[in-house]
Amino acid sequence: MTSPTRANVASSFTVVKGAMIDETYAVFAAWDFDRSKRENLDRLRDENFIGARSTTWLRDVAKVLNRRFEPDGRDRALVLLAKSGCDLEAWKPLLLWHMTRDEFLVRDFLQNWLFPAYDDGAFRVRPEDLHAYLQGIGKRGGRTEHAWAEQTMKRVAAGLLKIAVDFGLLRGSVVKEFASFHLPERSFLYLLHAMRDAELSPGKVVGAPDWRMFLMRPADVEHELLRLHQFRKLHYQVAGSLVELSLPCASARDYAERWFS
């Protein structure tokens, strides 16, 4: 299991290496639950069944996946969906949510820098805009394993924006602009189950900070809940301070297993 002592580590290595969306999907699609995580990653390094462009990149993919995910534990549902051939566009938001369970800096950046910029009406963002934010990581409960040089700071800033581009939140190359992002319905339903698995009350689900990673305000979440309630895909009612939310499955894993039924 990933050591809990690393939960608040702001890793420059994983951010600079990027989202690795296609690589992660390919590895998880071939994952063997009868083997340990170490055995699966050893097989990846030995066989290069994802067609990595170099031995160095293959090693980096294995190292990042080892750091980010626990396929036999909290991330099993994500692996099950990849093995079942889940559509990549619906799977990507789930990948983002799962990787940020142990990727402090990506989660913190999306929730506490990118979303506020979006909510304030920003149109364009540049890597240099992030420098003051990155210098305040410790104030938000994060820590770096060593002091970052100026060049590292620049690479991390560029890496965070590139990750946001890869997940469809931003677009552009040198100067990034906010994209018109829409969370697919099945992705939204999966995330509702995942948040309930974390024992959030219905009211806290609506206002959960994790929705900020998808550029969603509480009003956006409630609008989608009401729409899905109307189409009888879940049950959602509000009466004063009382919020009632009933979901179609018992857990995110159960929802993942029924995805293709």
- For 97, the enclosing helix (H) or strand (E) is helix 88-99
Residue with tokens 């990948």: 95
pLDDT level of residue 241 (50, 70, 90 thresholds): confident
Tokens representing residue 66 in the block: 């080892």
pLDDT digits (tens, 9 = 90+) for 245-259: 999 999 999 999 999
DSSP, collapsed to helix, strand or coil, labels residue 125 as: strand
Model pTM?
0.94
- Per CATH, which fold does 185-258 belong to? Arc Repressor Mutant, subunit A (1.10.10)
Q: Where are the domains of the chain?
A: 1-181, 185-258
Cα dist. 81→7, 65, 108, 137, 169 in Å? 25, 17, 26, 33, 22
Cα dist. 134→109, 142, 156 in Å? 9, 10, 9
Q: Are 234 and 185 in contact (CB under 8 A)?
A: no
pLDDT level of residue 2 (50, 70, 90 thresholds): very low
pLDDT digits (tens, 9 = 90+) for 71-121: 999 999 999 999 999 999 999 999 999 999 989 999 999 999 999 999 999
Tell me which residue of 164, 191, 172, 209 sits closest to 247, measured CA to CA. Answer: 191
Give the β-pairing of 170-171 and 176-178.
antiparallel
Q: What is the CATH number of domain 1-181?
A: 1.10.3540
